[in-house]
Amino acid sequence: MSALENRQTFVQRMLFQGFVILVLAAMLALTVNQFRGERLPWVGDFSASDGGDAAHDDGTTISLAEARTLFDADQVQFVDARSMDDFEAGHIRGALNLPWLEFDAHIEAVLPELRDDVTIVTYCDGEACHLSKDLARSLKDMGFVKVKVLVNGWSIWRDAGLPTAEGAS
Partner 1 sequence: MIRQRIDTILRILLGIIFIYASLDKIVHPKAFATAIHNYQILPDDLVNLAALILPWLELVIGALMLANRWVPGALMWINLLMIIFAGSLIFNLLRGVNVYCGCFSTRIQEADKATMAFSVSRDLLFLCASLYLFVRVFKNDPPPSEDPISV
Query: Applying CB under 8 A, does 20 fall inside the site for partner 1?
Result: yes
Stretch that binds partner 1, among 35-43, 67-75, 113-121, 142-150 (CB under 8 A): 35-43
Query: Applying CB under 8 A, does 75 fall inside the site for partner 1?
Result: no
β-strand partners of 114: none
- List the one residue out of 102, 98, 82 whose CA is nearest residue 153: 82
Active site residues: 124
Pairing relation of β-strands 76-80 and 147-150? Answer: unpaired
Stretch that binds partner 1, among 9-17, 65-73, 109-117, 137-145 (CB under 8 A): 9-17
* 27 vs 153: CA distance, rounded Å: 38
Query: Applying CB under 8 A, does 32 fall inside the site for partner 1?
Result: yes
* 134 vs 132: CA distance, rounded Å: 6
Q: Nearest-5° angle of CA 58, CA 84, CA 102?
A: 65
Query: Applying CB under 8 A, does 35 fall inside the site for partner 1?
Result: no
- At closest approach, how far in Å is the CB of 143 from partner 1? 25
Per CB under 8 A, the list member of 15, 65, 142, 160 interacting with partner 1 is 15
Give the footprint of partner 1 on residues 90-149 (CB under 8 A). 101, 124-131
The torsion angles phi and psi of 96, rounded to 5 degrees, stand at -100, 150
For partner 1, the closer CB: 155 or 169: 155
Distances (CA, A) of 139 to 38, 67, 70, 142: 35, 18, 19, 5
Per CB under 8 A, residues contacting partner 1 are 6-7, 10, 13-22, 24-26, 28-30, 32-33, 38, 40-47, 49, 83, 85-86, 89, 101, 124-131, 155
